[in-house]
């Protein structure tokens, strides 16, 4: 039985101690979760794409979300270019890249460097690869900061028009607006209420990213939404564990925690 089926949250208390988040639970059960933001900021959001590389005796692709986020929204890659949200579930070969699919839509030698050039530029496992690039980037741009993740507040940067990521490459789709904020009430065990802004997410993606695969559209259709599931990578955890701002930034979703 998976670990998450053994976890029942009756109380949700989060503290930080030496980079470890402690979530107190009943029956003396304690789950330890090391925040992803303990990574150096230039490495947060980096993924190793390796569906076929190792099989073909090639190093995996070292992909950095922050270097792409400043130029493109999530919707470009995960909707228009049809790259699955689940890591290593989309077969991106050199053959289909040459046809302009996936990364090849931009990495054609004109929009961005060609994927047929210096192979080691993408196929590498060097965790410090983006360090110098990151330092140069943040020094040249007056971004609002945060102590978590990339240490750049991407949402505020977008709102202040410090970045202007494209929403599409070829498909001219209009951005949807939905000024609807959901408040999920905490329970009597001391869990703080959570808030979710549709509009803040729609600045980066379309509805299809979350609905219906991650969250049921039907009211109260996602009744097993809880922190135990999220910390296992379900629901909000699909993005807010490794790409979007990490879960140790508690009061961004649970604003009540800021006054306690």
Kindly indicate whether the domain formed by 46-143 is annotated with CATH number 3.90.10.10. Answer: yes
**Domain extent listing, the chain:** 3-34+175-259, 46-143
Which residues, in sequence order, are CB contacts of 212 under 8 Å at separation 6+?
none
DSSP one-letter string for 42-64: TTTTEEEE-SSTGGGT-PPEEEE
d(CA 147, CA 154): 12
> Identical fold at 3-34+175-259 and 46-143?
yes
Which residues, in sequence order, are CB contacts of 167 under 8 Å at separation 6+?
73, 75, 76, 173, 175
Alpha-carbon separation of residue 233 from 58, 84, 230, 237 (angstroms)? 28, 15, 5, 4
User: What pLDDT is attached to residue 38?
Assistant: 78
For domain 3-34+175-259, the CATH superfamily is Cytochrome C3 (3.90.10.10)
Instruction: Name the pLDDT band for 222 (thresholds 50, 70, 90).
Output: confident
Instruction: Name the pLDDT band for 174 (thresholds 50, 70, 90).
Output: low
Q: Is the pLDDT of residue 16 over 60?
A: no
Per-residue model confidence as pLDDT tens digits over 59-116: 999 999 999 999 999 999 999 999 999 999 999 998 999 999 999 999 999 999 998 8
């Amino acid at each position: 039985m998976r670990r998450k089926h053994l976890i029942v949250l009756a109380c949700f208390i989060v503290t930080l101690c030496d980079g470890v988040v402690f979530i107190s639970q009943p029956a003396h059960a304690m789950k330890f979760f090391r925040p992803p933001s303990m990574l150096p900021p230039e490495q947060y959001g980096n993924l190793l794409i390796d569906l076929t590389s190792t099989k073909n005796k090639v190093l995996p692709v070292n992909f950095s979300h922050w270097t792409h986020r400043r130029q493109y929204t999530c919707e470009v890659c995960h909707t228009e270019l049809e790259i699955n949200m689940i890591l290593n579930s989309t077969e991106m070969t050199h053959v289909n890249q040459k046809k302009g699919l996936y990364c090849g839509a931009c990495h054609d030698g004109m929009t961005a460097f060609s994927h047929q050039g210096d192979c080691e530029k993408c196929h590498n496992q060097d965790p410090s690869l983006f360090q110098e690039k990151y330092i140069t980037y943040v020094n040249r741009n007056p971004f609002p900061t945060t102590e978590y993740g990339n240490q750049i507040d991407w949402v505020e940067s977008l709102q202040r028009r410090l970045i202007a990521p494209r929403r599409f490459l070829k498909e001219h789709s209009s951005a949807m607006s939905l000024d609807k904020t959901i408040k999920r009430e905490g329970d009597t065990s001391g869990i703080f209420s959570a808030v979710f802004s549709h509009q803040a997410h729609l600045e980066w993606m379309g509805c299809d990213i979350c609905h219906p695969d991650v969250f049921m559209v039907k009211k109260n259709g996602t009744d097993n939404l809880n922190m135990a599931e999220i910390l296992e990578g379900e629901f909000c955890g699909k993005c807010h564990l490794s790409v979007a701002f990490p879960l140790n930034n508690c009061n961004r979703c649970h604003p009540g925690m800021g006054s306690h």
